[in-house]
Amino acid sequence: MDDAEKNAPQPILIEPEPLVTIVALCHNHAPFLREALDSILAQTYSALEVLLVDNGSTDASPSILREYTASNPAWKLTLHTQNLGLCAGFNQAFRQSRGAFLIDFATDDVLLPQRVAQQVAAFQRLPANYGVVYSDAELIDEQSRFMRHHFRHTKKGLQPRPASGDVFADVLARYFISTPTMMMRRATLDELGGYDETLYYEDFDFWVRAARNWHFYFLDQVTTRKRKHPQAMSRTAYLPSDPHLDSTIQTCYKARALCKNPRELAALAVRLRWEMRQTVRWGNYMHALAFYALLRQTNNAHLLDRLLAGWSRLRC
């Protein structure tokens, strides 16, 4: 190489953007679907794989999904003839995906334009043991009107209090993550085998299993608009017919097996005590006793817990 070649400007190597998969899950979301799909199109981040999944909708959702797929040939559409449930519907798409990072996107919510770019940038600043980036969200009503933010600014800081790093004890004890804001590392989902399809809902179980070996990061940005439905504000919560409860109990048993020290057991006891008291409040004494049985295994049962368990046995 002569001097001219040595002194010539060297080409700048630009790292390709990591591929992000958006798994857009739909079940009877026709009134909100166009707004959701338009928010994918509005993303400033270009390296996207979009997998549309209809979980047996009986409204106009399949027609709208076909329309958008026709206009965006790179998007892939799967139409299920029946509702497979959240966990199985996501897992089928996850197994077909190629992205280094994934977003589980319910198509009644809305992604803000910088959502993917901001979260990928956060992941790129973090060590490889970070498996989840989550953020703040705007809560909106069915007319897309702003209600409030997920995290509220108070004199004591943000409430609920966000956590980063090792959040295992945090996810055992309390609810603080806005599920629709999560971006997940593929390696994390691979290690877990995706969502547990035996469960009715996915987020608590995912948090518990993922947080055992992976760190989480709170990105203090509003990235998502989460829609609140009046009919979804459960009138059956904690009643015996509520399908969430059995899944919660199953997840708490998994959490008990994953706990490594008294601090983590104490954190799980906070959750179990809350769940038990809610079931007693709603007259669901069988589930109350199930939560109490597990609470005793944490060695953190209090006098009031024992009294409530005794009351529940009398009422069964």
Cis peptide before 262 (omega within 30 of 0): no
pLDDT at 23 over 70: yes
Q: What is the pLDDT of residue 158?
A: 96
Nearest to 98 by CA among 74, 82, 117: 74
Length of the chain: 316
At 233, is the pLDDT very low, low, confident or very high (cuts 50, 70, 90)? Answer: very low
Whole-structure pTM value? 0.92
Average pLDDT of the chain, as a whole number: 94
In angstroms, how far is CA 292 from the centroid of its own chain?
27
Q: What is the pLDDT of residue 229?
A: 87
Sequence-distant (6+) residues with CB within 8 A of 1 are: none
pLDDT at 311 over 60: yes
At 142, is the pLDDT very low, low, confident or very high (cuts 50, 70, 90)? Answer: very high
